[in-house]
Structure 1
């Protein structure tokens, strides 16, 4: 028979025991630093990269691998430029201001985008041995060139307005931005690079 001194309690009786021991399992897992169950061996092996390819045995094979790697990098760069990824774009296309200028151009129909088609018709008209057709060709070319100039003036004003509204209080080289937008407007929409991200008529 054990003797118990007065004023002392058993340590086991003094320690509170939780009613539901299963509630401590998430806390223990979180305290261990994992926060998730250990993956199975098959899953872990499936995520590991495969073994590196063996080194080339001939000079021709090494040259072929180099060309394949260069072609893969060029394709990746071109895809990144097409979707407007900043890390792949050249310096002239980077930045939110240039992106805004592209959106302004792509959201409207530009007279300059018909330049190649009209130029082809004018070139064909010059080779037709008919003075009347050649004179009409000259008039068509003149009026189309005038339309491009007028449309470029309106486009430049719209670019300036949008840039100052969206990015006020910043130093902008407006002449360079306007020329950047006009040069993009003279390209056919499907050939523009980076690709158009807004539809025609969108509120930019």
Structure 2
């Protein structure tokens, strides 16, 4: 005998008439059960479904954008993943690079080329090329420094190819870098 708890009511015994009649309806066929379970792939209200899909996609894009900006490893592209790339990003962000000033200097040269005096234009172009050579030399030096620091930290045989990665990050304006800089200037990684 099974004990019943006070909170669950005991089922009433079916009367002779109810047991003869059964459940009062025919057993549903397999086809009827499957039809009842079917749901449309696209809802009847397509406009609402489209709005929901757009909102969900926008939410995912926002989450990915914020994750990328914060340097969350899950949202980074493959070229930016890994501890060595993080070390390079932090090292480049901690130092001042001449390449950071290249874009503002180019805008200045463009403005100076509108001056009618050819001497001003020549000086501006020569200064731009000199600064470009200085930025390239700084990027090459940065590549050697980063490679040496990575070899000291991770081992000389395990160093990835990161010179180009470091140079391209150093040539960008600090405020336009993605992922955003996680360290302040002078705060070199250990």
Instruction: Please give the TM-score of this superposition, normalised by the length of structure 1.
Output: 0.69
2:150–2:156 Cα contact (<8 Å) kept: no
Output the CA distance in 2 between the equivalents of 1:148 and 1:95.
27
Is 1:84 the counterpart of 2:78? The answer is no
Residue 63 (1) aligns with residue 25 (2): no
Does 2:184 match 1:199? yes
Q: Answer yes or no: is the 8 Å Cα contact 2:140–2:167 preserved in 1.
A: no
Give the match for residue 103 of structure 1.
90
User: What does residue 35 of structure 2 align with?
Assistant: none
Structure 1 segments of 4+ aligned residues over 4 angstroms from their partners: none
1:2-29 Cα shifts (integer Å, max 9, x gaps): xxxxxxxxxxxxxxxxxxxxxxxxxxxx
Give distance in 1, aligned partners of 2:72 and 2:157.
24
Q: Give the distance between the partners of 1:184 and 1:119, measured in 2 at CA.
A: 18
Shift of 1:169: 4.6
Structure 1 residue ranges without an equivalent (≥5): 1-54
Match of 2:109 in 1: 122
Aligned pair partner of 1:188 in 157, 169, 173 = 173
Aligned residues: 148
Alignment partner of 1:133 out of 120, 137, 146 = 120
How far apart are 1:81 and its partner, in Å? 0.9
1:139-172 Cα offsets, whole Å, 9 max, x none, are 2112111210221122111101111011005433
What CA distance in whole angstroms lies between the structure 2 residues aligned with 1:162 and 1:199?
Answer: 19
Secondary structure, aligned partner of 2:158 = coil
1:31-65: CA deviation from partner (whole Å, max 9, x where unpaired): xxxxxxxxxxxxxxxxxxxxxxxx96521111111
Point out where structure 2 has 5 or more consecutive residues left out of the alignment. 1-41
1:93 equivalent in structure 2: 80
Please give the TM-score of this superposition, normalised by the length of structure 2: 0.74
Given candidates 148, 152, 168, the residue that maps to 1:165 is 152
